[in-house]
A = this chain, B = another copy of it.
Amino acid sequence: MSHVGYRCLMAVDREQVLRSAAILLTRKSTATMDEVARAAGLSRATLHRHFAGRDALVRALESLGIAECEAALAAARTDEGPAAEAVRRLVRAMEPSAGLLAFLYTENQLFEGEEQNEGWARIDAGLTELFRRGQESGEFRIDLTPAWLTEALYGLLASGAWAVAEGRVARNDFTHMIVELLLGGALRREEP
């Protein structure tokens, strides 16, 4: 098993690098490759050995974000039970990825090219389908389109991630804040 042996030499964990890059880029989306490398605890040269360039790094982050979104969609079993409960499970499952998604959401460079990652289309379809199911079952109102609810979910995840990062809301309240606002809104319910 020689190919396993030299893994002990690999002090660089690709996944770990992407995570720290996501944290930094969420806070400062224009961070340089050098800053990303320092944040990950390695040199710029080594960072370049693992990711051909800044573009490749962003693409890798995109793939990571897509993978985490799809995992969250699967874990939340969005096609089972009441749609409202499914949304709650989904937001909870996406919470750890919120920072990364906030970065990708504002990286509009990813979406201006004609060849955008098809993963987003699959995720959008999953989210849209969930909201559409909720409308058909009578749980959700029909004057808010599934497309807008999907967009709003992205926006609230990003806002929540930033608000938590800057200490304006408590991290523990993240899921509650987003789910309750997305589903129930700010108005008090008359009936208990």
Which A residues contact B (CB, under 8 angstroms)? 27-30, 84, 87, 106, 108-109, 112, 131, 134, 138-141, 143-145, 147-149, 151-152, 154-156, 158-160, 162-163, 168-169, 173, 176-177, 180-191
Interface centre among A131, A145, A155, A186 (most CB of B within 10 A): A186
- For A191, the chain B residues whose CB sits under 8 A away are 190-191
Given contacts A29-B108, A169-B148, contact A140 B186 (CB under 8 A): yes
Chain A's interface: helix, strand, loop or mixed, by majority? helix
| Complex CA–CA separation, A28 to B112 (angstroms) | 9
Q: A30 touching B188 by the CB < 8 A rule? A: no
- For A112, the chain B residues whose CB sits under 8 A away are 28
| Complex CA–CA separation, A64 to B180 (angstroms) | 33
- What 5 new A-B contacts, CB under 8 Å, besides A141-B186, A144-B177, A148-B168? A131-B186, A134-B186, A151-B159, A151-B162, A152-B159
Nearest residue (CB) in B for A150 is: B168
Q: A108 touching B186 by the CB < 8 A rule? A: no
What are 6 A-B pairs at a CB distance below 8 A? A27-B108, A29-B106, A140-B186, A147-B169, A156-B159, A191-B191
Q: A144 touching B84 by the CB < 8 A rule? A: no
Q: A184 touching B181 by the CB < 8 A rule? A: no
Given contacts A159-B151, A163-B148, A169-B151, contact A187 B180 (CB under 8 A): no
- For A190, the chain B residues whose CB sits under 8 A away are 191
Given contacts A27-B108, A156-B156, A187-B184, contact A163 B151 (CB under 8 A): yes
Q: A188 touching B139 by the CB < 8 A rule? A: yes
